[in-house]
């Protein structure tokens, strides 16, 4: 009897699955391949079942005409943080309030045509909570790969606390909160991040721009602390990303075993050769540096000065990586506040500083999907998840057309329609 009931449920589910046929004026199935003009995509029950130049619409399919647009895979952001808007309260928001403030940013990412994000460090496991709420349908948002707390030294890039020493900080500076003072702390910190839901580990190998107590030229975590952290994460089949601005920290992090270098503002030939030989992915976050350079940032004056000094080597490092064909994934380093910059801005800025448009799209689709481990994202081939965007224009000849997103589909559902 149970088998009969289950069979009926499965038949009913299959019968109710929506089939969508999307006609494209220009179709980019895979950013590494030439576009198809015209083309079409069929999505059934949230998954792509057909795509290409000669696709016949299924008899019962809902047909969507996007023949005036370029249809392409939704983009993936390999480096974000959680935005909360301008806080009205003087104190640091509670974990519950932080999650409520970050939730609109996740909806904004989805509406912008972002299929997945990697959150590289947040407090109180808010990123894990958001991932879980999105996955169970409580709130809208893209796929989320959470890091929990980034691992940092006290006074390093992960330390934003400016309270005086007279205040007891014993409950703050713990491995559970990502603070590390020894290899043993690093091992425990990784274990705790994973225990509470992290699916990538973030290391603060160097100082940075946004932190109030250090500088990009400072080394933070030691080589041995990073080596132990990488070993522990890899035992759980979890990748490690390293915030690393200066050359010493970049080399130490790579030799410790990280899977990606974030920012990488002081590369040399040894560093790019090591990246290529050991398959370390470079996430250059060019747009956020350009934002500082073009005086568009609302950060503190101290951060602006640090960023402008960093820019002198950052763009040169990006150019060196391009010249050596280093594998890159696109990451915006943005907080995804509604109306703000996204990974689409990162791709446009990558092209501004010399990257070929096709390579830039690959960095935000197939390369980012591979880095994050989302093997059903990044292309519009049969068997992949039904996530796509339609943009006005051809991004392979005019990268600015990426800023003209007109239609968004996620898991076969229409998220945004601005074609009318």
Over the chain (420 residues), the average pLDDT of each successive run of 10 is 36 58 98 97 98 95 98 98 61 85 97 98 96 98 98 92 78 94 98 98 95 90 98 98 98 98 98 98 96 71 82 95 98 94 97 98 98 98 98 97 97 96
Beta strands in 190-302 (DSSP E): 201-204, 240-244, 260-263, 281-283
Give me the pLDDT at residue 304, please: 79
Per-residue burial over 294-311, b = 16 or more CB atoms within 10 Å of its CB, e = otherwise = eeebeeeeebbebbebbb
Tally the C-alpha atoms within 13 A of residue 312's C-alpha that lie toward its C-beta. Answer: 8
User: Residue with structure tokens 């909160």?
Assistant: 177
Predicted confidence (pLDDT) per residue in 145-156, tens digit: 999 999 999 999
- DSSP code for 280: P
Give me the pLDDT at residue 360, please: 98
Cβ atoms of 36 and 26 closer than 8 Å = yes
Percent of the chain residues topping a pLDDT of 70: 93
- Reading the block at residue 288, the tokens are 């956020």
Give me the pLDDT at residue 12, please: 35
Where do the CATH 2.30.40.10 domains begin and end in the chain?
17-74+380-417
Give me the pLDDT at residue 307, please: 84
Where do the CATH 3.20.20.140 domains begin and end in the chain?
77-372
- Reading the block at residue 154, the tokens are 């006290």
Give me the pLDDT at residue 11, please: 36
Taking the CA atoms of 188, 334, 274 and 361 in sequence, report the sign of the dihedral they define: positive
- Separation between Cα atoms, residue 224 and residue 175, nearest integer Å: 16
With 0-12 / 13-18 / 19 or more C-beta atoms within 10 angstroms meaning exposed / middle / buried, residue 358 is middle
- Reading the block at residue 71, the tokens are 């249809």
Q: What is the CA radius of gyration of the chain?
A: 22
| Fold classification of 77-372 (topology level) | TIM Barrel (3.20.20)
- For residues 166, 172, 173, 174, the Cα torsion angle rounded to the nearest 10 degrees is 150
- Separation between Cα atoms, residue 356 and residue 348, nearest integer Å: 10
Give me the pLDDT at residue 175, please: 96
Q: Angle at Cα 404 formed by Cα 399 and Cα 410, nearest 5°?
A: 105
Cβ atoms of 104 and 75 closer than 8 Å = no
CATH class entry, domain 17-74+380-417:
mainly beta
């Amino acid at each position: 009897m149970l088998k009969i009931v289950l069979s009926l449920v499965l038949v009913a589910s299959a019968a109710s699955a929506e089939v969508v046929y999307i006609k494209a004026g220009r179709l980019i199935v895979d950013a590494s391949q030439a576009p198809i003009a015209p083309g079409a995509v069929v999505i059934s029950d949230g998954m792509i079942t057909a795509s290409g130049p000669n696709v016949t619409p299924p008899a019962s399919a809902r047909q969507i005409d996007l023949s005036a647009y370029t249809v392409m895979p939704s983009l993936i952001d390999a480096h974000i943080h959680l935005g909360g808007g301008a806080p009205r309260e003087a104190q640091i928001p509670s974990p519950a309030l932080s999650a409520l403030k970050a939730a609109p940013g996740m909806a904004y990412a989805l509406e912008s045509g972002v299929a997945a994000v990697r959150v590289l460090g947040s407090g109180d496991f808010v990123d894990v909570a958001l991932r879980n709420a999105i996955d169970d349908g409580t709130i809208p948002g893209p796929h989320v790969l959470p890091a929990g707390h980034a691992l940092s030294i006290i006074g390093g890039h992960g330390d934003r606390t400016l309270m005086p020493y007279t205040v007891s900080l014993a409950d703050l500076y713990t491995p559970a909160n990502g603070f590390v003072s020894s290899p043993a702390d690093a091992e425990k910190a990784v274990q705790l991040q994973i225990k509470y839901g992290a699916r990538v580990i973030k290391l603060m190998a160097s100082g940075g721009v946004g932190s109030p107590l250090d500088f990009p030229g400072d080394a933070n975590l030691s080589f041995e602390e990073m080596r132990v952290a990488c070993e522990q994460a890899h035992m759980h089949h979890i990748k490690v990303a390293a915030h690393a601005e200066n050359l010493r920290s970049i080399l130490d992090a790579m030799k410790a075993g990280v899977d990606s270098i974030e920012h990488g503002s002081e590369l040399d030939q040894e560093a790019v050769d090591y990246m290529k030989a050991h398959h370390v992915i470079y996430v250059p976050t060019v747009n956020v540096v350009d934002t500082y350079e073009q005086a568009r940032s609302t950060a503190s004056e101290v951060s602006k000065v640090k960023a402008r000094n960093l820019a002198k080597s950052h763009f040169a490092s990006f150019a060196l990586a391009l010249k050596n064909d280093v594998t890159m994934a696109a990451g915006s380093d943005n907080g995804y506040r509604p109306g703000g910059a996204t990974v689409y801005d990162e791709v446009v800025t990558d092209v501004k500083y010399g990257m070929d448009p096709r390579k830039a799209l690959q960095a935000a689709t197939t390369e980012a999907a591979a880095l994050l481990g989302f093997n059903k994202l990044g292309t519009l081939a049969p068997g992949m998840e039904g996530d796509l965007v339609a943009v006005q224009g051809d991004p392979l000849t005019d990268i600015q057309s990426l800023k003209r997103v007109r239609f968004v589909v996620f898991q076969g559902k229409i998220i945004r329609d601005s074609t009318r």
